[in-house]
Structure 1
Amino acid sequence: MTQSVVVQGDTSLCSAVGQCGNQVGCRFWDLALREHAHVNKTGVYDDALSSFFRNVDSRKSDGGACGFGGRIQHLKARAVLVDMEEGVVNEILQGPLSEVFDSTQLLTDVSGSGNNWAVGHMSYGSVYREQIVDKLRKAAEHCDCLQCFFLIHSMGGGTGSGLGTRVLSLLEEEFPEVCRIVTSVYPSPEDDVITSPYNSVLAMKELSEHADCVIPVENQSLVDIVNKIKHMSDGGKPGLTIRKDSSIISGQGGLRGAEKPFDAMNNIVANLLLNITRLDQMFSDAFSKDHQLLRANPKHSLYLACALMVRGNVQVSDLRRNIERLRPSLPFVSWNQEGWKTGLCSVPPVGHSHSLLALANNTCVKSTFLDLKERFTKLYRKKAHLHHYLHVEGMEQSCFSEAITSLSSLIEEYHHLDATKGKLIPDAPRLSIAR
């Protein structure tokens, strides 16, 4: 029921919406401060820190305190926090990160969206439209070079799917030239929200129309990775253990009290790290089914493009060698055989010597969409819970048929690309989801 927005570029802005979004946001801000404090021992306000925070103390324009775990002075996160239930935002304001936010960055309600996309998108989207736009504009005004919005949201509940995609469309209206990259957390088939298939499919249509790029994450895959991390942190195979001070285990993430059931999963989303093993094995693991944030096997499907973001003591030669080693086992679409992008950062995550983030557009995502379509159809065929949506002003039954048609078209595009595997078809269609 949640989502968050990050503006990436020379300066960055994060807007978190709903329970999960704000919790993931806390993990993000926690990690950003810890990493900067780990590298910059003097706490000087520099370009790296200015990407996510601004210095509000004019007397210290060339410096500021950025310590973690104590009083955080002079810094304000480039963020807007929105929640239709105020509980998590209140926790943040009472936690160790409270001083990096102020009242002008917050927008809350008390009733929630009732796991209803229509309430989040239509009702709250209309009521809070001007306030959301105003806060985003003011936050964007503090950015020196606004280049990209990064939106993180969940799909199964009402606020993330509904209000989250409404925010996405507002970003396109107000900042049409700024790229919109979305990370979407999909519910598992065993999700306890009965209406999650409706919410997810309705949100999918909005993503297809308003997002430039979508990075899907699946709840069940997060559970599997958390279990793997727990095993490794407790002492797995030699050389494959996780240190207790690792950034993958980020403590409370700016919230008070004991760890909650979803904290570890939120931390995975905040880190977006696919594995934490030795160097060559790290590259192999990044393409294995056990390290995907979707429950799918990319090696059995077709790659459209792939980006490798490496941090730590890794050389360009290591990147090239591993790409050449893995290339024969990674089938790429015929019109983009060299569709690789790489990035190197010499600073490793806290507690690690190196890390790898692999981002790929692969037709294996089709299975997730097919499963979602099947669960949607089971509900819609019986018209189950439909009246909860149709009583919302502006919501019509045609919204459901248009949404499932949009999802079916996306599935068909991936299916058509899959059918070209192993064939040289230079005029094969490109996916239209990214514009």
Structure 2
Amino acid sequence: MTQSVVVQVGQCGNQIGCRFWDLALREHAHVNKKGLYDEALSSFFRNVDSRKHDGGACSVGGRIQYLKARAVLVDMEEGVVNEILQGPLREVFDSTQLLTDVSGSGNNWAAGHMTYGSDYREQIVDKLRTAAEHCDCLQSFFLIHSMGGGTGSGLGTRVLSLLEEEFPDVCRIVTAIYPSAEDDVITSPYNSVLAMRELTEHADCVLPVENQSLVDIVDKINHMSHGGKPGAAIKRDSTIISGLGGLSGTERPFDAMNNIVANLLLNITSSARFEGSLNMDLNEIAMNLVPFPRLHYLVPSLTPLYTLADVSVPPRRLDQMFSDAFSKDHQLIRADPKHSLYLACALMVRGNVQVSDLRRNIERLKPSLPFVSWNQEGWKTGMCSVPPVGHSHSLLALANSTCVKPTFMELRDRFTKLYRKKAHLHHYLHVDGMEQSVFSEAISSLSSLIEEYHHLDASKSRLVPDAPRLSIAR
């Protein structure tokens, strides 16, 4: 059995990570009624009770005792990590695998990447090595961080480069949360573009998620739950829309957004955590979906995004779930996948879904989803028999397509508006090791990436069959 390690960096990364562990424990407790430590649990948890190595753990209050998450938690402000340690998940995390400071990175990529990255390098490497040594067969690292702040973008991408140095053969899958255009961090375009260069150079796969897309989804769910059709209200305890993510206190607006990203992680890891007739190895994601090293941004979409309260309401047809996965409303970035070119696509299904259902829907969707000419059959599929708690089935689609281009272009435009005026630049240039050339290299890297997607889009017109020619009777 293979294992994976989750590395949570910054406030956003730790809040999402905490919600992932909370929901993962619920899923395992739902399936593993006796609370025995088994192979499914070992993929993301380790058993630390020496008395129970052969017998396993026991379930108490819906959670399984003696488990420690295969996780490393890093933040240069201690608030969120302290909150986690005072909440219901405090026993799940190994206190020796936490690293905090008190001052924060001041929304400055350079402070996170260069100052804290250098000051804490050895401690971070030590914790990563310890997490790896606890694995029998380490398969992948999941790195979770935001792009707009200083610690998430700066230290998060420094951790990414350390993972490549220390574990070059282990797959690095990054979940990166991109800021919205109205982000309250004025320097977020700088931080995001500087981080983008690191993601492009050092990650195997990046799952980009936009804050604005999450806001739109949560608003839509809230509208349905309050003003929807009679009998079709949203469940209050839906795993998507509620829950504190293992944190104490009242629910905050971004908790529901974090839940959606946590569900993305639950779905992508389900094949590693549970049995399935067609399980997808995590390494297969990069192997099958990334034909060019730099073009490794996989746009995620999730369906369903909510659970109906009234069980008498007939469930949406299975085929609708597949259609929803390719609609604008279910993308975790603001994109229209049907107006882009696909390099490859993965469908990761959970629950009571047959292979015939999967094949039928792929054939049905193919005509509306243009693929590159050299990869017309570029579909990767995975089937896990265990559905998310509260659902009969679910689907995660990961699309390597040119629909990410508008997001990257908008980010470049916001960067350029600041950079043209050299606004706030001095905050970065005062950091030891930071030079203005780093900005130039970062924007050049992003422009090059956009250009690669642009060339692919330009080739789409060549996919249209030649128009029929007039035939001359002989």
Which of the five TM-score ranges fits, normalised by the shorter chain? over 0.9
- Once residues 234 and 66 of structure 1 are traced to their aligned partners in structure 2, the CA distance between those partners, rounded to angstroms, is 36
Are 1:224 and 2:216 an aligned pair? yes
- Once residues 38 and 302 of structure 2 are traced to their aligned partners in structure 1, the CA distance between those partners, rounded to angstroms, is 29
User: What residue is the counterpart of 1:275 in the other structure?
Assistant: 303
Larger radius of gyration: 2
Q: How many pairs align?
A: 416
Call closer, same or farther: CA 1:68–1:178 in 2, change over 3 Å: farther
Are 1:64 and 2:57 an aligned pair? yes
- Once residues 10 and 187 of structure 1 are traced to their aligned partners in structure 2, the CA distance between those partners, rounded to angstroms, is 33
Are 1:25 and 2:17 an aligned pair? yes
- Once residues 365 and 241 of structure 1 are traced to their aligned partners in structure 2, the CA distance between those partners, rounded to angstroms, is 33
- Once residues 140 and 233 of structure 2 are traced to their aligned partners in structure 1, the CA distance between those partners, rounded to angstroms, is 35
Q: Percent identity?
A: 84
- Once residues 145 and 17 of structure 1 are traced to their aligned partners in structure 2, the CA distance between those partners, rounded to angstroms, is 24
User: What residue is the counterpart of 1:338 in the other structure?
Assistant: 377
User: What residue is the counterpart of 2:436 in the other structure?
Assistant: 397
- 1:121-200 matches, within 5 Å, as 121-200=113-192
Call closer, same or farther: CA 1:67–1:229 in 2, change over 3 Å: farther
Equivalent residue in structure 2 for 1:34, among 26, 29, 33: 26
User: What residue is the counterpart of 2:308 in the other structure?
Assistant: none
User: What residue is the counterpart of 2:83 in the other structure?
Assistant: 91
- Once residues 349 and 71 of structure 2 are traced to their aligned partners in structure 1, the CA distance between those partners, rounded to angstroms, is 26
Contact 2:75 2:81 in 1 (8 A): yes
- Once residues 354 and 224 of structure 2 are traced to their aligned partners in structure 1, the CA distance between those partners, rounded to angstroms, is 26
- Once residues 14 and 96 of structure 1 are traced to their aligned partners in structure 2, the CA distance between those partners, rounded to angstroms, is 19
Contact 1:148 1:181 in 2 (8 A): yes
- Once residues 41 and 232 of structure 2 are traced to their aligned partners in structure 1, the CA distance between those partners, rounded to angstroms, is 31
- Once residues 222 and 58 of structure 2 are traced to their aligned partners in structure 1, the CA distance between those partners, rounded to angstroms, is 33
Are 1:110 and 2:102 an aligned pair? yes
User: What residue is the counterpart of 1:432 in the other structure?
Assistant: none
Cα shift at 1:231: 3.3
SS of residue matched to 1:188: coil
- Once residues 102 and 47 of structure 1 are traced to their aligned partners in structure 2, the CA distance between those partners, rounded to angstroms, is 20
Contact 1:27 1:250 in 2 (8 A): no
Counterpart residue identity of residue 414, structure 1: Y
Counterpart residue identity of residue 348, structure 1: P
Contact 1:33 1:66 in 2 (8 A): no
Contact 1:66 1:75 in 2 (8 A): no
Structure 2: unaligned runs, 5 residues or longer: 265-300, 305-315, 465-474
Contact 1:30 1:250 in 2 (8 A): no
Call closer, same or farther: CA 1:335–1:60 in 2, change over 3 Å: same
Cα shift at 1:237: 4.9
Contact 1:240 1:278 in 2 (8 A): no
Aligned structure 1 segments of 4 or more residues deviating by more than 2 angstroms: 65-70, 228-247
User: What residue is the counterpart of 2:408 in the other structure?
Assistant: 369
- 1:180-259 matches, within 5 Å, as 180-234=172-226, 236-237=228-229, 242-259=234-251
Contact 1:33 1:68 in 2 (8 A): no
Counterpart residue identity of residue 156, structure 1: G
Equivalent residue in structure 2 for 1:408, among 439, 443, 447: 447
Structure 1: unaligned runs, 5 residues or longer: 1-8, 426-435
